[in-house]
Amino acid sequence: MAFIKNIHLTDRSDQELVALYKQQGDIRVLGELYQRYMDLLFAVCLKYLRDAEMAKDAVMNIFEELVSKLPRHEVIHFRGWVYTVAKNHCLMQLRAKKQIPLSLDPEFMQLTDNMHLNGVLEKEENLEQLTKCIDTLSADQRQSVQLFYLQEKSYKEIAGITNMEWNRVRSLIQNARRNLKNCMEKNTLIND
């Protein structure tokens, strides 16, 4: 790990710090970036987890994630990127939490069966609808969305895989997100 001398990290832009961290791997550089957005990260985690202690733990875990994730991703706007990392971290925690049964008591299971079943059916319907909406996308949009969201590839990585320009990939993903949102909203209105 390279040692940084006489560099005032607080005077550097986010982009400069990202580049510097990728170059040198100095944890102090990442610490400066992280410190700038710690309040944002806490707010995001609190919004999703709804528990201050869990949110504090999540913020600390996100820092550990950044150590390995930042060098692997093409990050243009750190703030937006770290927001997404935090959101995904919290969603993964919530998903993992829901997979652990709270109780195996038969009476408890009977009381929650209907509530749980309704939630599962609603999620299945949403997943089915999302799958149908994904099928309506163009082949390029579908491929880009799958690489970006399911395989967690960066725009740059997708451009390399698909032999498309970076801007084309970005445009495809943005348009696909808009199309998926419109499709899901349209079908929600139809089903209501």
Q: What is the CATH number of the domain that holds 26?
A: 1.10.1740.10
Residues 136 and 150 in one domain: yes
Q: How many domains does the chain have?
A: 2
State the pLDDT at residue 147: 84
Residue-level pLDDT at 62: 92
Which of 66, 100, 134 marks a domain boundary?
100
Count of residues in the chain: 192
Q: What pLDDT score does 115 carry? A: 40
Q: Among the three residues 100, 130, 152, which one is the final residue of a domain in this structure? A: 100
Q: Are 68 and 152 in the same domain?
A: no
Whether 121 and 56 share a structural domain: no
Which stretches in the chain have pLDDT values below 50?
A: 1-6, 99-121
Same domain, 160 and 90: no
pLDDT at 132: 83
Q: What is the pLDDT of residue 8?
A: 78
pTM for the structure as a whole: 0.48
- Rounded to a whole number of angstroms, the CA Rg of the chain reads 21
pLDDT of residue 108: 39
Q: What is the pLDDT of residue 112?
A: 40
Can you give the residue range of the structural domain that contains 73?
A: 1-100
Q: Are residues 94 and 6 in the same domain?
A: yes
Residues 6+ apart with CB under 8 A from 133: 179, 180, 183, 184, 187
